[in-house]
Amino acid sequence: MKIYEARVAPNPRRVRIFLAEKGIDMQYVELDVMGGENLSPALRAKNPSTKVPFLELDDGTCIGESVAICRYFEELQPEPPLFGRTPLEKAQVEMWNRQVEFFFIQPLMFAVQHGAGIFKDRMTPIPVWGEESAKNARAYLDQLDRHLTNNSYLVGDYFSVADISLLCAVDFAKVAKIRLSDEWPHLQLWHQLVSGRPSAQA
Amino acid sequence: MKIYEARVAPNPRRVRIFLAEKGIDMQYVELDVMGGENLSPALRAKNPSTKVPFLELDDGTCIGESVAICRYFEELQPEPPLFGRTPLEKAQVEMWNRQVEFFFIQPLMFAVQHGAGIFKDRMTPIPVWGEESAKNARAYLDQLDRHLTNNSYLVGDYFSVADISLLCAVDFAKVAKIRLSDEWPHLQLWHQLVSGRPSAQA
């Protein structure tokens, strides 16, 4: 099997870190997403959403969406568990992963795409929406900072895929001129903690 | 335990249908979301995101996000499985649920909130973003219609939580003036199929 990705994009890194935590080796195929290689008919046939990363199994079946790929490997190799260990923890991981996605990653991507105008060959940038999204992304970091006052990770003392999602987004956020600062001290501590894991180099 | 919700909103219905499929009884507390009851300090303390639905356990622990609540009950009562039966199916359910969310539900919500200006007391409506989002939501229905040419449900012949997500969104879409029509014949067939399940009345 192999994963098609673009090394600089934040979502492929989520999967690389996840696989590093699991100790799973993978073959990667780099796509020129800026040049539109992912939009070719051949790649669209494999991955209709055109987003990276996507996983191709040996029988040709393809799975898109970083979290769906992670879940596949969680099922194949449960240890160490990264989606939660109990029903409650699994629900909490799902909640945090979704909230990070909806309230930070998506606004961040809108800020980048509508603000900087990358991908304007394939979408309609609306600069005012880019600005509003950057504001929303920052406002969510305020909320997260409060949450991390009493939690080492997003789900208490348990490192999960939700932390991986947030790490990749926070590191990518400099593209939208959002950088962790003393404004968010607990988020800074959390960032040091998760960045210190060997998987963060993946 | 109990679920705080708003009966007319699409996300609470996702959970009601899911629980109906599992045959799980639940106590519901209706919130006046339009009037901002969900924004009160007491409810914010339970559910910082302020979104409905959220589940409150008997010990006071709260879980937000419709899909996180569904996953909690999938873990507590696995039968019938609605998040997939094999590693591959679980990944495919996750993929479709996410794509429906990102490419249809979110644009639909943006179309409603930025177009109709509901919730303008708590966000900044950008009408041009509302229009663009409505266009994106419709374009995704074209893609789904092609996918459903060869699939009874989103994941082949397996009914899953992803179908529940899509059903609730499609039924809500009339608010953004998006109605299923002959333009999307396979989606219409799918809609008849899933609407015919007793759970759809939940």
Which of A52, A56, A92, A95 to mutate to test binding with chain B, by most B CBs within 10 Å of its CB? A95
Buried b (16+ CB within 10 A) or exposed e, A158-176: bbbbbbbbbbbbbebbebb
User: Which residues are within 8 A (CB) of A158 and not within 5 positions of it... i.e. 6 or more apart?
Assistant: A84, A85, A89, A93
B156 has a pLDDT exceeding 80: yes
Q: Measuring CA to CA, how many Å separate B143 from each of A44, B78, B85, B139?
A: 12, 31, 25, 7
Are the beta carbons of B13 and B202 closer than 8 angstroms? Answer: yes
Residues of B (24-63) whose Cβ lies below 8 Å from A: 48-49, 57, 61, 63
pTM above 0.95, yes or no: yes
The whole-angstrom separation of Cα A85 and Cα A65 is 22
Interface confidence, given as ipTM, is 0.96
Cβ-based contacts of A86 with chain B (< 8 Å): 75
Residue that the structure tokens 């989002």 belong to: B133
B148 to chain A, any CB pair closer than 8 A? The answer is no
Q: What are phi and psi of A132, to 5 degrees?
A: -60, -40
The whole-angstrom separation of Cα A85 and Cα A67 is 17
A115 has a pLDDT exceeding 90: no
Return the pLDDT at B39. 95
Contact B49 A103 (CB under 8 A): yes
Contact B99 A65 (CB under 8 A): yes
- Mean of the pLDDT values across residues B119-139? 91
Are the beta carbons of A15 and A66 closer than 8 angstroms? Answer: yes
The whole-angstrom separation of Cα B119 and Cα B29 is 21
Contact A95 B64 (CB under 8 A): yes
Distance from CA of B161 to the nearest CA of A (A): 14
A192 to chain B, any CB pair closer than 8 A? The answer is no
Cβ-based contacts of B68 with chain A (< 8 Å): 91-92, 94-95, 98
A89 to chain B, any CB pair closer than 8 A? The answer is no
> How are beta strands A27-30 and A2-5 bridged, if at all?
parallel
Helix, strand or coil, per DSSP, at residue A46: helix
Domains of chain B (ranges, CATH numbers): 2-76 (3.40.30.10), 87-201 (1.20.1050.10)
Helix, strand or coil, per DSSP, at residue B54: strand
Q: Name the H helices within B51-86.
A: 66-76
| Mean pLDDT, all residues of chain A | 96
Contact B65 A95 (CB under 8 A): yes
The whole-angstrom separation of Cα B169 and Cα B194 is 13
Return the pLDDT at A121. 81
A131 has a pLDDT exceeding 80: yes
> How are beta strands B2-5 and B54-56 bridged, if at all?
antiparallel
Cβ-based contacts of A68 with chain B (< 8 Å): 91-92, 94-95, 98
Return the pLDDT at A23. 98
Helix, strand or coil, per DSSP, at residue A56: strand
A117 has a pLDDT exceeding 90: no
A54 has a pLDDT exceeding 80: yes
B197 has a pLDDT exceeding 90: yes
Closest residue in B to A110 (Cα) is B129
User: Which residues are within 8 A (CB) of A140 and not within 5 positions of it... i.e. 6 or more apart?
Assistant: A103, A104, A107
| Higher-confidence position of A8 and A119 | A8
